[in-house]
A and B are shown apart, each in its own frame.
Chain A
Amino acid sequence: MSSLAAGRRRSRFATDILPVILVLGGVVAAWQATVMAFRIPTFLLPSPVAVVTEFLSAPAFYLSNTGFTLTTTVAGFLFALVIGVALALLIVSSRIFDRVLFTLLSALHSVPKVALAPLLVIYLGTGMTQKVVIAAMIAVFTIVINTVVGLRSVDPEVLNMAHSKQASRLKILLKVQLPHALPNLFGALKAATTFTLIGAIVGEFVAGEQGLGYVILTAQGAFDTPRAFVAVVILGLVGTSLFHLLAFIERKVIPWHVSIRSERRR
């Protein structure tokens, strides 16, 4: 039994993790080889070694800027989550909210949020608030739409079953609709990790003196390509980590969902 489990774990490593390492390692090696073979100047394309060296020359600087961007992203994400779910609940619970809010949200959604970023500086200043708001704004629409779809797509016969036992609207919402909407919500949240990160960087591009976006902007001004590359690589790592953190939470919260069950069986 235990050897079977160990075997499965080993095969999981072999099928899931090993290929990723091989592909990434291959890309990095090819990158290094290309830079060395063609003697590409560092200001055009720094080699992986140059990027790592640059990071190691000022780890505290990079970590503190990463911390700032990460904080903005997570705060934006949490705001988007709370506001998005709240709006979705309002929309499904009243026809008036449905009409008004949906119209409003679609109008808001069709405006590129990036275009609002400079405007927000006027209202919210150049601090973290402005960046959190942009991040939340970019992510919130996806969350609302998907949660509304989830809340509304309960099998009408299940609602009949609930009504046959005198269930109140609140009970149906809490015990049937919300759990039913969780898979949709998680789908939206995984997308939202990327959106909020974009929002945070856009906010830093527009104004401010901290964060990985700011690092990229100033590095570009100084033609310090390795510095920009370090920031970009860290952003990639942060984005991937957030996505996988969400996927991990998803597996813990909705282990019953078909998507998770079939993933486990593979």
Chain B
Amino acid sequence: MSRGGGQAAVRVVPAGTTDAPAPVAGPVRVRISDLSKSYESDRGPVQALSGISLDIHDSEFLTVLGPSGCGKSTLLKCVAGLEPVTGGRILIDGKPVTRPPPDLGIVFQRDLLLDWRTNLDNVLISVEFLGLRKRDFVDRARQLLDLFGLAGYEDRYPWELSGGMRQRVAICRALVDNPGFLLMDEPFGALDAMTRDDLNLELQRIWLRDKKTALFITHSVPEAVFLSDRIIVMDRNPGRIAAEFVVDLPRPRTLSDRETAPFIRYSAEIRATITGMGILRNE
């Protein structure tokens, strides 16, 4: 893995695994080289990202972990072609990103539901934007809402839902046209632990079944270990990659796997690295 900018990035392989090659080595879908991004603000430019180099492989589940404000959302938007980069470049399937690629599904950090549409119509707006025939997707939209525990809420409005329910509608909206490339910005941040477990399982199932390429953002170390093939830890000021972990655990993973020794070893290792770098405090 080449890494520009001379950052002291650590590649950590937990004790017990041999010098591991990445378990997924499909073709590279996204190649980020020496990416930097600064925002213009009234008080001069804000350096949000610096020297980011990273490959995302086809069908890989990659998670970005990092403290608030380290540029995770910015990285996601640059990859999505929604924010112009200020340095370096991003290639998707070999082509420079200038606009959102087709085949894309984004779960944003906020749910962004439209108040004037029912929940079902909020899901289906993706289809309308894409210019596909809406009625071909009504059944799938209903199935998705059902899958995410929202059966019976199809004809209600977003403002009649709890924050966690709204976020689940937003997930359905991202998934309704079955995109192959998923970008998720803390999609489960607003959920209680039980629902979160449930949706982690569901996400793994969907990802395994459809072989999607996924870039996932979270604050939760166990969630990252549970879902990911690979985990990137970011540090801030400016946002950069601080460490990388390969999670070589068999799939499908179950919730109780989280109490097994290898799983705990990964979590502990990641947490120790993060704490050691002063990104997070231990107490």
Contacts and interface: CB of A to CB of B under 8 A. Distances in A.
Interface-centre pick from A158, A160, A176 (highest chain B CB count, 10 A): A160
A254 B159 CA distance: 13
A164 B101 CA distance: 8
A257 B100 contact: no
Interface in A134-162: 155, 157-158, 160-162
A95 interface: no
B141 to A, nearest CB: 14
Contacts of A257: 115-116
Interface-centre pick from B80, B102, B116, B128 (highest chain A CB count, 10 A): B116
B182 to A, nearest CB: 11
Interface stretch (B6-14, B17-25, B105-113, B257-265): B105-113
Interface in B108-128: 108, 110, 112, 114-116, 125-126, 128
B116 A164 contact: no
B15 to A, nearest CB: 40
A102 B53 CA distance: 46
Contacts of B280: none
Interface-centre pick from A160, A165, A182 (highest chain B CB count, 10 A): A165
Interface-centre pick from A162, A164, A254, A261 (highest chain B CB count, 10 A): A164
A18 interface: no
Contacts of A124: none
B177 A165 contact: yes
Given A161-B106, A161-B108, A163-B82, A256 B126 contact: no
Contacts of A160: 77, 80, 82, 106, 108
B190 interface: no
B128 A261 contact: no
B180 to A, nearest CB: 14
Given A160-B108, A164-B100, A166-B102, A256 B116 contact: yes
B130 interface: yes
A244 interface: no
Interface-centre pick from A157, A179, A258 (highest chain B CB count, 10 A): A157
A175 interface: yes
Contacts of B130: 165-167
A14 to B, nearest CB: 28
B39 to A, nearest CB: 13
Contacts of A8: none
Nearest to B126: A165
A164 B82 contact: yes
Contacts of B77: 160
Contacts of B100: 163-166
Given A165-B126, A171-B128, A256-B157, A179 B102 contact: no
B129 A166 contact: yes
A228 B130 CA distance: 61
| Chain B contact patch, size range | 20 to 34
Contacts of B116: 179, 182, 254, 256-257
B253 interface: no
B82 A171 contact: no
Chain A contact residues: helix, strand, loop or mixed: helix
Contact of B128 (A157, A158, A175, A179): A175
A17 B53 CA distance: 67
B104 interface: yes
A157 B125 CA distance: 15
B251 interface: no
B205 interface: no
Contact of B112 (A155, A171, A258): A155
Contacts of B125: 165, 175
B44 to A, nearest CB: 21
B104 to A, nearest CB: 6
B104 A157 contact: no
Nearest to B73: A157
Interface in A34-80: none
Nearest to B157: A256
Interface of A: 155, 157-158, 160-168, 171, 175-176, 179, 182, 254, 256-258, 261
Interface of B: 77, 80, 82, 99-100, 102, 104-106, 108, 110, 112, 114-116, 125-126, 128-131, 157, 159, 173, 177
17 contacts: A155-B112, A157-B112, A158-B112, A158-B114, A160-B106, A161-B106, A163-B99, A164-B106, A165-B100, A165-B177, A166-B130, A167-B130, A168-B131, A171-B128, A182-B116, A257-B115, A261-B159
Given A256-B116, A256-B157, A258-B115, 19 more contacts: A160-B108, A161-B106, A161-B108, A161-B112, A164-B104, A164-B105, A164-B106, A165-B126, A165-B129, A166-B102, A167-B130, A168-B131, A171-B128, A175-B125, A175-B129, A179-B116, A182-B116, A256-B115, A257-B116
Top 9 nearest A-B pairs (CB, nearest first) are A167-B129, A165-B129, A164-B106, A256-B115, A165-B126, A256-B116, A160-B82, A179-B116, A164-B100
